[in-house]
A and B are shown apart, each in its own frame.
Chain A
């Protein structure tokens, strides 16, 4: 068999994958095939990201359906674990152990000889910027250092696929930047990556391929641009700051794409619920240029991922109207 005849090894193959925690749905009927590459798994807390990671790593057994990771069933193939690195979301709370001791031990648990594990640990701690602190107990590290330590253990055994769950949690801006740089380098090196996060903009620098998960269901997938276009087509809340608030409100009230107009307690502010935001922007530009109204500021909810999820869920359920609780006209 020549190389071209060999079947392409996908990163993930999920077929009707479901997992139930008793009567609670963890993930629901996931159907997905992805080639190797870097992906972000986006979803609010409790969406099913960690459960999906548990299934992909073989820690959890699906209730229904099948899955393959790098062509193997993670529950049945122990060798697959050599090809996966996992960085969990939970904080690293180990007392009385240095990062060096911990990673050497984990490498030996992966089947490495001590003579190989020690230099590799030195190398990987250097890569994540913990070389200076390698002999300090982990419990004395800052949160950012602990995150990097978790990343170090995940990449130490040179996996082909790196799975990270909320790697930016608790990091300060510098820590976020450093973590992003490390992950960008990883993705650039041609290795696969699955990055779970609840904040879209954090992962945009690292990958342009997204999967949106909510309520255990895969709602959408695509690039950031596609997701933003999707968001633009969906009803959303927009705040407009205007000196001519009342005039603007009366103009907007006539438009069919306006769902609700709310006068905010703050002066000169209108909160709008809009079906087609692009048409609002066009109209505002037209009215402002013709002097009918003044517009000082427009604040959208473009980056609010939870809004997008609510909207996608209501669309998924076939609901015609999206009602934001508390909104009034």
Chain B
């Protein structure tokens, strides 16, 4: 994925050449996909992840504007920043979920340990009664 991104970056840099070109559609798509992925894993719910997702969106918008105004090279670099922020938002969101799950699992272990176990000392079985003696 990273190799592909870099290839696309080189390609777009080649296209941009002496300026006056737009950022590559592939790069725009890749960044958009990263932003979407971060949103889908719930980055909005984790404050730091939400902040980086916001950075990513803002930078993506900035890159679009730069691209429209023909500053393709600069747009590509801003897209790279946006994508890095989106990937960080995704990683932070997953970290939050994993730490929460680990805490939950540890809590369940503590609960299982504290669960009372059935008594291990059996009560002796009732002895069969002796036949009562007939009354004369």
- A, B: real partners: no
Q: Which residues of A contact B (CB under 8 A)?
A: none
Q: Which residues of B contact A (CB under 8 A)?
A: none
